[in-house]
């Protein structure tokens, strides 16, 4: 049963200016939540905010700057947020970069692992005091079907020993999935009421999808419509993960169609070897060391 009334709730969505994050922001604000659009590009965030208000003049939305590829920006966001708000009901770790040429974050991490995983790991850890103090709070982290067949190469996380864009994207999305599961494990171990849920949008036609360095050819865009679903549909697993009352934490939500590429949201069971306790603990420790954000439950 999806929660239909989010009045009085505060939600933070990273990358909320477009695609799945934007659709989720529209939904949560329509249900009464106060939604923070945590965005890297504030002018794009303003366009998104105005679009939401045109559709729903009563929506409570605000923009805050957040660059997940810059840990100083992550710390500034968390500090500013905690000065303004005393609780946080929902954190949606949505923003991401997909298959860019080799690059690094401001702190020297490989761009995809640094932005998609480490930025969100640091953000969640810094906001943990508010999440812990908010009964029934929830963290939703977006993974991808690209995690299938991926593995964490702990000896080459920075890509200095070779880089393949898709391989490193899969690695970052596997890290998202393992982080979400391990966060929920630790919530339960410490008897904290918060829960952590992972989800993925299947194949959704958002601005993450591109081919090569230039503009995606028109015929490819036409083809994409047949194999992907629109962002509005792709946002449903995120919305389900964020608002479904029956979820207990630790679930993975994705589309229910063939290959989990399209369809309606449902609980999905990852391959049996995905949740490796040793790997999850190693990822957690390395993430704390790399970000200098240590979780205190």
List, by residue number, the catalytic residues. Answer: 169
CB atoms within 10 A of CB 263: 17
Among 50, 90, 41, smallest CA distance to 68 is for: 41
How far is residue 216's CA from residue 210's CA, in Å, rounded to a whole number? Answer: 6
How far is residue 45's CA from residue 43's CA, in Å, rounded to a whole number? Answer: 5
How far is residue 144's CA from residue 147's CA, in Å, rounded to a whole number? Answer: 6
Angle at 281 between CA 279 and CA 208, to 5 degrees: 65
How far is residue 210's CA from residue 191's CA, in Å, rounded to a whole number? Answer: 43
CB 94 within 8 A of CB 119: no
Burial of residue 165, with CB atoms counted within 10 A of its CB: 0-12 exposed, 13-18 middle, 19 or more buried: middle
């Amino acid at each position: 049963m999806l929660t239909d009334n989010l009045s009085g709730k505060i939600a933070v969505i990273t990358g909320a200016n477009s695609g799945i994050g934007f659709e989720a922001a529209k939904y949560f604000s329509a249900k009464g939540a106060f939604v923070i659009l945590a965005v890297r590009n504030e002018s794009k965030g303003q366009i998104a905010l105005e679009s939401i208000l045109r559709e729903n003049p009563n929506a409570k939305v605000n923009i805050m700057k957040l660059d997940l590829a810059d840990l100083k920006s992550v710390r500034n966001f968390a500090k500013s947020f905690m000065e303004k708000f005393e609780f946080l009901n929902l954190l949606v770790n949505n923003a991401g970069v997909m298959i860019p040429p080799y690059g690094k974050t401001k702190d020297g991490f490989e761009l995809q692992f640094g932005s998609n995983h480490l930025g969100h790991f640091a953000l969640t850890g810094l906001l943990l005091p508010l999440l812990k103090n908010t009964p029934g709070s929830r963290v939703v982290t977006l993974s991808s079907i690209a995690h299938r067949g991926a593995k964490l190469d702990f000896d080459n996380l920075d890509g200095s020993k070779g880089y393949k864009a898709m391989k490193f994207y899969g690695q970052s999305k596997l890290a998202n999935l393992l982080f979400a599961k391990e966060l929920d494990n630790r919530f339960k171990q410490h008897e904290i009421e918060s829960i952590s849920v992972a989800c993925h949008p299947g194949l959704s036609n958002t601005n993450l999808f591109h081919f090569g360095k230039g503009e995606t050819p028109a015929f490819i865009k036409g083809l994409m419509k047949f194999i992907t679903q629109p962002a509005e549909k792709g946002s449903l697993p995120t919305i389900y993960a964020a608002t479904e009352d029956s979820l207990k934490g630790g679930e993975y939500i994705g589309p229910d169609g063939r290959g989990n590429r399209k369809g309606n949201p449902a609980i999905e069971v990852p391959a049996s070897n995905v949740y490796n306790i040793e790997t999850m603990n190693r990822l957690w420790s390395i993430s704390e060391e790399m970000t200098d954000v240590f979780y205190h439950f």
